[in-house]
Amino acid sequence: MSNNKYKILVVEDDRNILSMIQTVLDLGGYQVLTAQRCQQGILMLTSHMPDLVVLDLGLPDMDGEEFIRVARRNSMIPIIVLSARSDEQDKVSALDLGANDYITKPFGTAELLARVRASLRINHMNMRASIPSSVFTLGDLEIDYDRRQVAVGGSVIHVTQTEFNILSLLSRQVGKVMTYSAIINSIWGTMDDGSVKKLQVNMANIRKKLGCKPGENKYIINELGVGYRMLDPQE
Ligand code: CA
């Protein structure tokens, strides 16, 4: 498969990591553009119109979050954030600002390519779906938005209103990591001390009802300490 039509902008100031990513994406058949500063990356975003951005958060001139803010003003371009393991909070706020996914350093080439492929595919799926479908399908899971009904293997599953709202939210953002606060604000409107626990309890019930065994990532991936992600149907 040729990826020649895809242009990827990599914004990273660490030369070793930048050249590693460039090599991997080159070999993967992508066209690669690079920037080592945030401001340069922002300029290249408008001048080169890439299909996807791989973005380091710690940049010398500006915080990578500024890049996401500027990009999200007029573009839904997929943004994959690179973050160090210690920057848990940065990762979460980057996702809340509109980044699609994250990779924790150090990462392997297979992981990078898989995340890039997934983000490109989801973006194309969303662009094609100009008329939003009223039924979401993922394996044997079906979510009917109009009838507010969930079925597994053809059998309707009883879910509460809150559980349905959570499933609906995650499936409409398929493939994207939704942080705890993004889900909580969207479902309950406000966030307090007990919110994350409340969400986790709802999620445990949802997984049980969908027939997921503990630890199994059948439909929904538990991004530990960050949030949840509905699996891309082709993943
Ligand atoms: Ca850096």
Q: In angstroms, how far is CA 232 from the centroid of its own chain?
A: 10
Burial profile 42-81: b = 16 or more Cβ within 10 angstroms, e = fewer: bebbeeeebbbbbbbbebeeeebbbbbebbeeeeebbbbb
Predicted pLDDT at 122: 76
> How much is the pLDDT for 125?
66
**Rounded to the nearest whole angstrom, what is the distance from the C-alpha of residue 174 to the centroid of ligand 1?**
29
Question: What values do phi and psi take at 26, rounded to 5?
Answer: -55, -50
CA of 209 to the centre of ligand 1 (A): 42
Given pLDDT bands bounded at 50, 70 and 90, which one contains residue 146?
Answer: confident
Residue 57 Cα, ligand 1 centroid: separation in angstroms? 6
pLDDT exceeds cutoff 80 at 131: no
Determine if the pTM surpasses 0.75: no
Question: 126 pLDDT exceeds 70?
Answer: no
CATH class as words, domain 3-128:
alpha beta
Q: Closest Cα to residue 44, out of 86, 90, 92, 77?
A: 77
Q: Measured in angstroms, how far is the CA atom of residue 13 from the centroid of ligand 1?
A: 5
H or E, element range at 69: helix 64-74
Q: What value does the mean pLDDT take over residues 160-185?
A: 92
Mean pLDDT score of the chain, rounded to an integer? 89
Task: Tell how far the Cα of 64 is from the centroid of ligand 1, in angstroms.
Answer: 9
The pLDDT of residue 1: 47
| Those residues with Cβ within 8 angstroms of residue 102's Cβ, 6 or more apart along the chain or in another chain | 80, 81, 82, 83, 91, 94, 95, 177, 226
Across the range 162-168, mean pLDDT stands at 95
- Protein fold of 135-230: Arc Repressor Mutant, subunit A (1.10.10)
Statement: residue 159 has pLDDT above 90: yes
DSSP-derived 3-state class of residue 235: coil
Going from the C-alpha of 138 to that of each of 15, 145, 232, the distances in angstroms are 40, 14, 8
What is the average pLDDT across 100-111? 92
Please tell me the number of Cα atoms within 13 Å of 77 on its side-chain side.
26
For 21-77, write each residue's pLDDT tens digit: 999 999 999 999 999 999 999 999 988 999 999 999 999 999 999 999 999 988 889
Rounded to the nearest angstrom, the distance between the alpha carbon of 18 and the centre of ligand 1 is 10
pLDDT of 174 reads 86
CA of 17 to the centre of ligand 1 (A): 9
Residues β-bridged to residue 178: 228
- Cα→Cα distances 81→87, 193, 218, Å: 11, 27, 24
Expressed in angstroms and rounded, the spacing between residue 62 Cα and the centre of ligand 1 is 11
Going from N- to C-terminal start, the domains of the chain cover: 3-128, 135-230
CA–CA separation, 116 and 25 (whole Å): 9
Q: What is the pLDDT of residues 201-221, one digit of tens each?
A: 999 999 999 998 877 778 999
Spatial distance between the Cα atoms of 181 and 73, rounded to a whole number of angstroms = 21
* Confidence check: pLDDT of 167 > 70: yes
CB atoms under 10 Å from CB of 215, counted, come to 7
Same fold, 3-128 and 135-230: no
Q: What is the mean pLDDT of residues 169-191?
A: 89
Distance 224 CA to ligand 1 centre (A): 23
Q: Tell me, what's the pLDDT at 127?
A: 62
> How many Å apart are CA 220 and CA 229, to the nearest integer?
6
Distance of CA 219 from the midpoint of ligand 1 (Å): 33
Burial class (CB in 10 A: 0-12, 13-18, 19+), 134: exposed
56 CA from centroid of ligand 1 (Å): 6
